[in-house]
Each structure stands twice: as structure tokens, then as C-alpha cells.
Structure 1
Amino acid sequence: MDLLGSILNSMEKPPTASEAQKNAIKKQKEALERKHKEEKNMLNRFRKRVEEKVANFIKDGTKPYLQFEPMDQMYRAIVRDVAELSGVLVFSFGQEGIDRYPIVYLKEKGPSEDELTVRRNGGVWNEEKAAEMARNREELEKQVDLDSDDKSRKRKHNKELSGTFYKQKYAHLIGETAAIGAAHKTNANKSYGEVPSENKKDQRSIEQTMADIRAKKIKKAEVDKDDWEEKNEASTID
């Protein structure tokens, strides 16, 4: 025997499990397998019941919804899967881990916003609650319409008042502005000789005006000549 073989033989071998321990481990494994199998069978049975309920619900077509009892998330997932495969809607309401439950609806008869609001708030949905919500909505819509009409009237009234107050408050300024504008226009007309035709006194044509000017010059020349002759005669006499 070589040295390595003698060393290995001299080493302490690992302890081996006793028959009792082996049997205990085997039973534990078998029990776990049975548990998994039972859970699987239970889920399968639950799924079959859900499929039957959903199929009957769709076939009947008169019920507003199909409500299930509160259940864990794993079972709700099965209900959701069956509902989606069957072509119907499913919603869950309630608090997780306490009373959360699924409800199935036909697609053409899905829940209203009022029903979703009530159920999500933990309320009970029935015909009385539906009628109450409808009345509340009608009253709310009427109030909104009244508020809208009132706001429109107030805006119109305020607009009219603002125009009146503006004219009253700035009447003196408006008058002064108008007067200044008129004076400015008049001064501009005077500065640039722009006198309105109705204000002109001389309505003669250019030819008439020139003839009158020449006549005045001739007359003035004759007067000046007469005055000069008179002065010369006076000086001669003196």
C-alpha cells in the first residue's frame, strides 16, 4: 500500500445518516409534495367553479354583475384570468388582506362612474344608491348651470359699469383731449394756410383777383400823380 492510500484509510470517514433519519427526510419530502399537489388540485377546482359561474353569468345576460366573496390575491388572479379569456370585465374593490373582492361585468354593461366611486370608497351599490347618486348629479349640474349664468351676468354687468364709470371718471379728460385736438387742427390749418373753403371770404377766381389788383395799381398811380401836380402848383404860387 502506498503512502497516500494509508493516509486516506487512516482519516475519519464522514458520519452516515441512520435509517431513521433517512425515513424522516423521505416522509417530509413526500408530505411537501402532497401539499403542493393538494394546493394545485384546490386551485384547479376553484378555477373550474369560476369558469362555470362566469359562463352562466354570460349566458344569462340579465344580471348587472357577478360578485365573488373576498379572497386572496392568488385567487383573484384566477378570476381575472378566467374573465379576460371569457371576454368580460373584472374589477376588484375593498382593502388588500382584509375584504378585497372581485366583480365581473359584461362589456356592454360595465360599471358607471358612480358605482366605481361608491365601491372604491367602501360603500354598497344598489338601486337606492344609484337613484341617490343620480339625484345628486342632477342637482350638481343645475347648480353649475346657475353659477355659470350668474357669472355671465356679472361679467356683462361689470363690463357695462366699467364703460360707464370710465366715461364719468375721465369725462373732463376726454373733453380736454377733444378740445386740444380741435385747437391743434385749427393751428395747423393756420400755420400751413389750410383754411376750409366754407371759411374763405374771397370766392373770386385767380383771373378776377389779378385784374382787381392791376386796377388798384392804376388807380393808385393816378392818385399819386394828382397829388404830385397839386404840390407843384402850390410851390409855384408860393
Structure 2
Amino acid sequence: MTSLQRLDHITHNAKRASGEKLDSPKMADLLGSILSSMEKPPTVHDQESRRKAREQAARLKKIEEDEKRKKAEFRKKMEKTVSDFIQDSNLQKRRYEPMGKIERSILHDVAEVAGLASFSFGEDEESRYVMLFKKEFAPSDEELEAYRKGEEWDPRKAEERRRRKERAALEMEEASRSQKRPASPNSNYRDKYSHLIGTSAAKDAAHTLQANQSYGCVPVANKRDTRSIEEAMNEIRAKKRQKKGAGSGSSV
């Protein structure tokens, strides 16, 4: 249906609904508003813009499909190289050439699925590369540090460095132990002051302890007497009687 046909149809319906003649002013205003609200046919410029938009969308879709296809092909290739690496019993690690971030992420994912350890090394984005290690030959911290520094890993040099570190640690431990030991005098103080106290001062000062002859008023001999108290008292009384007898005899 063309624009004129649609206009006749709208006019006919409006005439039937309003009951007015087509040439009346009110009907003319109605038709004018209807015509102004109708969509205009697309211009040549709009058609060109739509064509370019469709072409751009088609190009983007093609680019996405190409990227998806390339990723699938690269993943299949990495799966093949990883499988060959696992089956080769002579290889412990494998280093790949520098690659982009997307390729590295795909290789890391393939290695994780295969049960391998993978690391990325390199200073900048253009020189970063991936290394794979079998689990039983996982790298040590020293080996990883060497790769991060851009150095080649030499197990013999690493073993020599490890031994040097162990010797240095033992020497430091021995030095710390010697510092904690108690200090001993370099010389004997008796020898240092021998000119003052003499070499035989201690011997001369020593003496043999002897009991005093008496303690208070009691003779020592009495303290060593083994007689009983009753025997000693009887002896004393006998001596007193003898003295009294002797005194009385002299007086007679």
C-alpha cells in the first residue's frame, strides 16, 4: 500500500467517523496532522548508513570467528607439544618461545589440565615466555629466582652456593656460641697479689684446733670423766671425811 492509498484509506475512515465532508476546514486540519505524523520514506543517506552498519557487523563477526578458530588451533597444537613432552622420559622441563598473553594463558591452562607446573618469565610483554616442569622435577626457589633474573640455571653452581651458605651459617652460629660462654680470668689473683700476701699465706694461716684446758670453772679432765655422778659424789664425801679426821687428830 502506497502513501496515497494509505491517505485515502485514513480519509475515508475519518469521514465515516466524523460524518463531515472532506473539504471542511476541520477535516483538512485532521488530514494535515495525520500526514505530518506519517513516517517519511528513507533517504539515500539513511540507506547508505544502514548498509555500512551491516557490513561492519559482518566484519566484526568474521573477526570473532577467525579469533575463535585460531585459539582452537593453537590449543590443539599446545596439547600435542605437551603430550610429547610428558611422554619423553629424558626431558624434565621445556621452554617455549616468547608468545602473547592470550597464547600464554592457553598454554598455562593446557599444562594445568595435564598435571604440569608452568611459569612465565621475562621482563617485558614481548619477551615473556613459558616453561613447563614435570611434577617430580618441580623447580626450587633458587632455580625460579635464576630464571626471573634472566640467568641460566646450573645445578653444580647452585650446590656450591648452597654449601657456602651452610658454612657461613655454621660459622655465625659458632661465633654466637663463643660470645655466650662465661669469661674466665686470664691469670690467678693469688699470683697477681703474691708480692703482698706471699705464696704461703694460706698455709701459714691454717692451724690445728685444740680444745681449751678448761671451760669456765670445770676442769677439762672432769668433763672427760667417765664415772657416774653417784660415784663421783661418794669419792668427794670420802675425801671430806678424811680431811675432817685429819683435822681432829691434830687438835687432840
Aligned position for 1:193 = none
Partner of 1:62: helix, strand, or coil? coil
SS of 1:104 mapped into structure 2: strand
Deviation, 1:220, is 7.7
| Deviation string, structure 1 residues 164-212 (Cα, Å, up to 9, x no partner) | 58x969xxxxxxxxxxxxxxxxxxxxxxxxxxxxx9983445x613431
Kindly tell me: are residues 200 and 115 of structure 1, through their superposed partners in 2, closer, same or farther at Cα, counting changes over 3 Å? Answer: farther
Tell me the TM-score normalised to structure 2 length: 0.60
1:26 equivalent in alignment to 2:46: no
Note if 1:136 corresponds to 2:157: no
DSSP-derived class of the 2:97 partner: coil
Work out whether 1:202 is the aligned partner of 2:230. no
C-alpha separation between the residues in 2 aligned to 1:200 and 1:69? 115
Partner of 1:50: 78
CA distance in 1, matches of 2:233, 2:171: 83
2:111 alignment partner in structure 1: 83
Q: Quick one: distance in 1 between partners of 2:91 and 2:179?
A: 50
Q: Deviations over 1:83-117 (max 9, x none)?
A: 11112211112235342221111112222333211
1:212 alignment partner in structure 2: 232
Question: How many angstroms apart in 2 are the aligned matches of 1:37 and 1:200?
Answer: 132
Q: Using the TM superposition, give the Cα deviation of residue 82 of structure 1 relative to its aligned residue in structure 2, in angstroms.
A: 0.7
Give the deviation of 1:14 after TM superposition: 6.5
Question: Could you list the runs of 5+ residues in structure 1 that have no partner in the other structure?
Answer: 170-198, 234-238
More helix by share: 1
CA-based RMSD of the aligned residues comes to 4.2
User: Using the alignment, how far apart are the partners of 1:13 and 1:76 within structure 2?
Assistant: 58
Q: In the alignment, is residue 61 of structure 1 matched against residue 89 of structure 2?
A: yes
Runs of 5+ consecutive residues of structure 2 not aligned to the other structure: 1-13, 19-25, 191-219
Measure the CA separation in 1 of the matches of 2:148 and 2:157. 17
Measured in 1, the distance between the counterparts of 2:121 and 2:221 equals 95
Q: Where in structure 2 are the equivalents of 1:30-179 lying within 5 Å? A: 30-95=58-123, 97-125=125-153, 129-152=154-177, 154-155=178-179, 158-159=181-182, 161-162=183-184, 164=185
Q: Distance in 1 between matches of 2:90 and 2:60?
A: 45
Query: Aligned equivalents of 1:81 and 1:55: distance in 2?
Result: 14
Counterpart amino acid of residue 24 in structure 1: K
Structure whose alpha-carbon radius of gyration is higher = 2
**Length-normalised TM-score, structure 1:** 0.64
User: What do the CA deviations read for 1:197-232 (whole angstroms, capped 9, x no partner)?
Assistant: xx9983445x6134314543x2586489679979xx
| Distance change >3 Å, CA 101–CA 13, structure 1 → 2 | farther
